[in-house]
A and B are shown apart, each in its own frame.
Chain A
Amino acid sequence: MSWHAPRNLDEALALLAERPGLVPFAGGTDLMVGRQTPACGRQYLSLARLTVLRGVRETASGVAIGALTTMTEIGCHPYVCRDLPALAASARATGAIAIQNRATLAGNIMNGSPAADNPPALLAYGAEVVLMSAAGSRRVPYEDFHGGYKQTVCRPGEILTEILVPVPPPGARHYFRKVGARRAQAISKVSLAALLVGRPGSWECVRFGFASVAPIPILARTLAVAITGSDRGLPDDAELAIALSRDIMPRDDIRSTADYRRRVAMNLVREALAPWTRQGGSNASA
């Protein structure tokens, strides 16, 4: 066991270049739970002193969220609440208060759980993540970030430093809903975040990000094409369900069944689209 607590980002990246096996330690809410079982021989790299990786700032095109920003900070940050309400909502749905005070956004992504609560909003908003190593930094669209179950494109020697989220145009519908066994501190059975801009026949943006319906958080591309490709209003439920079934591959597990997940996923899609299916409905920002 060893513990390294570099004082700044350069020092952290230099250490990581020397020892790519170091495990970055952010809020620890995932790492502390698994710590006894596999690897007591682990070597940790504490990110706690890297204060540059904490906080939310506005950029020319959107909102930049530092890797170490906690769920508590994200859930009540004025920029996030104003411009990215689906992400504010998912942060507030990530565990209970004591978890939210420690859990970071990068930790939630890097842990790689298909059930994590914030990936759906990041998918819906078309976020990018910044990965940095001693050799430099690169930006990766978040929709390409998870290669497979519990895998990410983050390479040894890299850490995630920032999440960049473009701000949607005014009038967009921002949707988030998590379905779990209870309201607080439950891992999701299904969750959906959606960003919808435009209206049937003239959509500018249709993005549905799901958790817990596939081995990784997924963007429902076939569903989006079915909606944007229809020039006579919204496709009917049967068409939506067929498109959705091509995107998701839910499984039976201890929390739920594949069949239940498929039905709930469809209900959430319907709820996200509700402003355009109800008589007279036009638009409703969440």
Chain B
Amino acid sequence: MTVSCRFTVNGSPVYGHFAPMRRLLDVVRAECGLTATKEGCGEGECGSCAVLLDGALVNSCLVPIAEVDGREVTTLEGLRTDDPLFAAFAASGGTQCGICTPGMIMAARALLNDCPHPDLSEIRRALSGNLCRCTGYTGIYAAIRAAAGQGGE
């Protein structure tokens, strides 16, 4: 069985027939060719597949495509190229191997959209569903504070 779904990804319309329980993660990567979104755990624990669904942070490995009908998806590729998070992550050691980075940046963007000047505890809470095995997180927090215009510390 397939269901027809119409939605937008980064502003571009997508229409197709999909197996209803196919993960948004797979559709974004395989059908839309947008591969910034990564699969880490496939079970909601790591946040590397995070995207925005109607502006809210979700793990795309937990969203079946049938539930995306009529909605707006934003992946890392859909952020503005001059989003200050990109330069800040590079400058502050917020990224090493890079696997977690797209999810970290999406979680950070979701935070800054709601709360432009978060304190450290707000940043930690916003990123608590995103795991990183390389950076030790300090560089990531510093990057987000820098992007929010609060300096690196």
Contacts and interface: CB of A to CB of B under 8 A. Distances in A.
Interface in A52-90: 72
A29 B21 CA distance: 13
A139 interface: no
A28 B125 contact: no
B45 A184 contact: no
B129 A185 contact: yes
A77 B50 CA distance: 24
Interface residues of B, number: 30
B47 to A, nearest CB: 6
B1 A98 contact: no
A96 to B, nearest CB: 3
A33 B129 contact: no
A97 B20 CA distance: 25
B20 A99 contact: no
Contact of B62 (A2, A3, A28, A44): A28
A3 B62 CA distance: 16
Contacts of A101: 53, 56-58
Contact of A185 (B20, B45, B58): B45
Interface string A91-127: 0000111110110000000000000000000000000
Contacts, number: 80
Interface in B1-48: 1, 3, 19-21, 23, 43-45, 47
Interface string A15-45: 0000000000100110011010000000010
Contacts of A1: 1, 19-21
A117 B63 CA distance: 22
B23 A3 contact: no
B35 to A, nearest CB: 20
B129 A102 contact: no
Contacts of A185: 45, 128-129
A1 B65 CA distance: 14
B100 interface: no
A183 B121 CA distance: 12
Nearest to A29: B62
B126 interface: yes
Contacts of B21: 1, 3, 32, 35, 44
A45 to B, nearest CB: 11
A46 interface: yes
Contacts of B99: none
Contacts of B107: 97-98
A282 B135 CA distance: 47
Interface in B117-141: 125-126, 128-130
Contacts of B101: none
Interface in B50-70: 50, 53, 56-59, 61-64, 66-67, 69
Contacts of B126: 97
A23 B125 CA distance: 33
A5 interface: yes
Given A28-B64, A28-B67, A97-B129, A102 B20 contact: no
A99 B50 CA distance: 10
13 contacts: A1-B19, A2-B20, A3-B66, A25-B67, A32-B21, A32-B62, A32-B63, A48-B67, A98-B58, A98-B129, A99-B62, A185-B128, A185-B129
4 smallest CB-CB distances across A and B, nearest first, come from A96-B129, A184-B128, A3-B20, A32-B62
